Copies of this chain bind each other. A is one copy, B any other.
Amino acid sequence: MAAMKLVAVRPVIKTVSFHSGLQKSPFRRNYVRAFSAIMSPPSKAVVYDQLGAPDKLTRIVEIPPAEIKDNDVCVKMLAAPINPSDINRIEGVYPVRPVPPAIGGYEGVGEVYAVGSGVKGLSPGDWVIPSPPSFGTWQSYIVKEQSVWHKINKDTPMEYAATVTVNPLSAFRMLHDFVQLNSGDAIVQNGATSIVGQCIIQLARSQGVRSINIIRDRAGADEVKDKLKKLGADEVFTESQLEVKKVKDLLGTLPEPALGLNCVGGNSATLILKFLRNEGTMVTYGGMSKKPVTVSTSSFIFKDLSLRGFWLQKWMSMDKATECRTMIDRLLGLMRDGKIKYDMELVPFEDFHNALDKALGKQGSQPKQVLTF
Contact = CB atoms under 8 A, between A and B. Distances in A.
Interface string A293-332: 1111111111111111111001000000000000000000
A83 B301 CA distance: 17
B314 A304 contact: yes
A160 interface: no
Contacts of A286: 297, 301
Interface centre among A284, A286, A299 (most CB of B within 10 A): A284
Complex copy number for this chain: 2
Contact of A298 (B287, B296, B302): B287
Interface in A65-123: 95
Given A305-B309, A306-B308, A307-B306, A293 B300 contact: yes
B292 A302 contact: no
Interface string A146-188: 0000000000000000000000000000000000000000000
Contacts of A314: 302, 304
A142 B285 CA distance: 53
Nearest to A284: B300
Contacts of A298: 95, 287
Nearest to A264: B297
A190 to B, nearest CB: 12
A294 B292 contact: yes
B297 A265 contact: yes
A309 B300 CA distance: 4
Interface in A253-294: 265, 283-287, 292-294
A297 B84 CA distance: 15
A367 to B, nearest CB: 24
B310 A301 contact: yes
B308 A302 contact: no
A262 to B, nearest CB: 8
B310 A307 contact: no
A260 to B, nearest CB: 12
Given A292-B297, A293-B297, A295-B295, A307 B307 contact: yes
A307 B293 CA distance: 11
Contact of A297 (B287, B299, B304): B287
3 smallest beta-carbon distances between A and B, as pairs: A300-B309, A287-B297, A284-B300
Given A286-B301, A292-B295, 6 more contacts: A95-B298, A283-B300, A285-B301, A294-B294, A303-B309, A306-B307
